[in-house]
A = this chain, B = another copy of it.
Amino acid sequence: MLISLLRERAPEETRVGLVPDAVAKLAAAGHRVLLESGAGARSDFGDAEYLQAGAEIATDGPERADLAVSVRPPAGETVARLRRGAATMSFLPAAQSLDLVRQLAGGGIASFALELVPRISRAQSMDALSSQALVAGYRCAIVAADLLPRMFPLNMTAAGTLQPAQVLVLGAGVAGLQAIATCRRLGAVVQAYDVRTAAAEEIRSVGGKPVELKLETLDGAGGYAREMTAERARRQQELLMPYVAAADALITTAAVPGRQAPQLVTAQAVRQMKAGAIVVDLAAESGGNVEGSVPGEIVRIGQARVWGGRNVPGQLPGPASRLLAQNIVNLIGLITDAEAGFHADFADEIVAGTCVTYGGQVRHEATRALLQGPLDAERPAG
């Protein structure tokens, strides 16, 4: 295939869809990559590295491409440049991008959404939500260590002993476990809580101590947690309060893809934290696990400072892009035939699950329902 690597248009997006190593792998598999000049600059990958890996610089990549690759959904004007029958691969929050989905379907463009890769073991190497969560979880731990006005490890010195910092992690998915592991590496004492049954063992496996609340567990599909009732949420907030109050640093990572993040910690609980305490809310962009957190800002609540995450994987653009690019290379392999031509086999549940539009149709059911629902009447197509 002829693959066009798009330069990200959003000023806050530092990542890139393919890194030079990934371009070399695609070239070895028989693909050609057309590069928008400067596509990797914000991740510290220069044009020269891409050229060395076999990419070509082109200004007409979208017009020529069989596949356009990007991190964020391509802009409408870029989609307009793609030829009928071409494809896109990127994050594509379909339910929040209905105009774009209409344009893709209307233009006969196939589109594959990275966040829709199913959570099955064969798809692990394509799971961009997991790879980006790993980077984000590490980053949250480093941010907490950077902001906390005390040291994480126990220190026994000639001038006495400094006690280790107490860290509480809420949400022990990929990001939470990585945050726990990183805080433990730095020597903090880490407690963690997650609503899923399997979490306690996973928390222990990375050196954390599971918090056990007298509440039923909530296991959802694909290893994610399912939503809880308002009554249970309120009770959980109450039961967590003493743990929050005792923590030097609180890191929250509970997110349910495509949905509002659950509010785990009230502002009232944060106000009980001690002077100098730090809160890191990875979920700030999707509504926040902590009441009052603001994405991209540090706000003061009581005596604590609350850091709200904003494109957290993009704060480490190099590693985030490396992993994302490998996810994309692996997914490209799945929609390619032996001659490196485009071939989407919808009998494959990964291909089927990831595809939003194809052949003029919206294939993603939830999105199709939204487009046919009342929203459709309000928003004229085109």
Tell me if B158 and A127 are in contact (CB < 8 A): yes
Copies of this chain in its oligomeric complex: 2
Contact sample, A vs B, 23 pairs, CB 8 Å cutoff: A43-B149, A44-B274, A44-B275, A44-B303, A125-B158, A134-B155, A134-B157, A142-B145, A143-B146, A146-B146, A149-B316, A150-B316, A150-B319, A153-B185, A157-B323, A159-B324, A159-B326, A159-B327, A160-B322, A160-B326, A162-B322, A162-B323, A185-B185
A158 to B125, CA, bound (A): 5
Q: How far is the CB of A198 from chain B (nearest CB, A)?
A: 18
Which of B149, B155, B182, B274 contacts A186 (CB under 8 A)?
B182
Asked if A276 lies at the interface with its beta carbon under 8 angstroms from chain B, I say yes
A102-141 CB mask vs B (1 if < 8 Å, else 0) is 0000000000000000000000111100110011001000
By a CB distance below 8 angstroms, the chain B residues around A143 are 146
Q: How far is the CB of A23 from chain B (nearest CB, A)?
A: 14
| Residue from the set A44, A125, A160, A182 with the largest chain B CB neighbour count within 10 Å | A160
A148-177 CB mask vs B (1 if < 8 Å, else 0) is 011101010111101000000000000000
A142 to B327, CA, bound (A): 30
Interface residues in A306-331 by Cβ distance below 8 A to B read 315-319, 322-324, 326-327, 330
Tell me if A158 and B146 are in contact (CB < 8 A): no
Asked if A187 lies at the interface with its beta carbon under 8 angstroms from chain B, I say yes
Asked if A46 lies at the interface with its beta carbon under 8 angstroms from chain B, I say yes
Q: How far is the CB of A324 from chain B (nearest CB, A)?
A: 8
Top 7 closest pairs, chain A to chain B, by CB: A44-B275, A124-B158, A146-B146, A159-B326, A44-B276, A159-B323, A160-B326
A149 to B150, CA, bound (A): 23
Q: How far is the CB of A290 from chain B (nearest CB, A)?
A: 21
- Given A131-B159, A138-B153, A151-B319, output 12 extra A-B contacts at Cβ < 8 Å: A44-B149, A125-B159, A127-B158, A127-B159, A131-B158, A142-B146, A157-B323, A159-B327, A160-B323, A162-B319, A162-B323, A185-B186
Q: Give the residue name and chain of the B residue nearest to A46 (CB).
A: B275
Which of B43, B135, B276 contacts A151 (CB under 8 A)?
B135
Q: Give the residue name and chain of the B residue nearest to A324 (CB).
A: B159
Q: How far is the CB of A246 from chain B (nearest CB, A)?
A: 16
A316 to B152, CA, bound (A): 11
Q: Give the residue name and chain of the B residue nearest to A127 (CB).
A: B158
Q: How far is the CB of A320 from chain B (nearest CB, A)?
A: 9
Tell me if B158 and A318 are in contact (CB < 8 A): no
| Residue from the set A124, A315, A323 with the largest chain B CB neighbour count within 10 Å | A323
By a CB distance below 8 angstroms, the chain B residues around A146 are 142-143, 145-146
Q: How far is the CB of A133 from chain B (nearest CB, A)?
A: 11
Q: With A185-B186, A275-B44 in contact, is A130–B149 under 8 Å at CB?
A: no
Q: Give the residue name and chain of the B residue nearest to A126 (CB).
A: B159
Q: Give the residue name and chain of the B residue nearest to A303 (CB).
A: B44
By a CB distance below 8 angstroms, the chain B residues around A150 are 316, 318-319
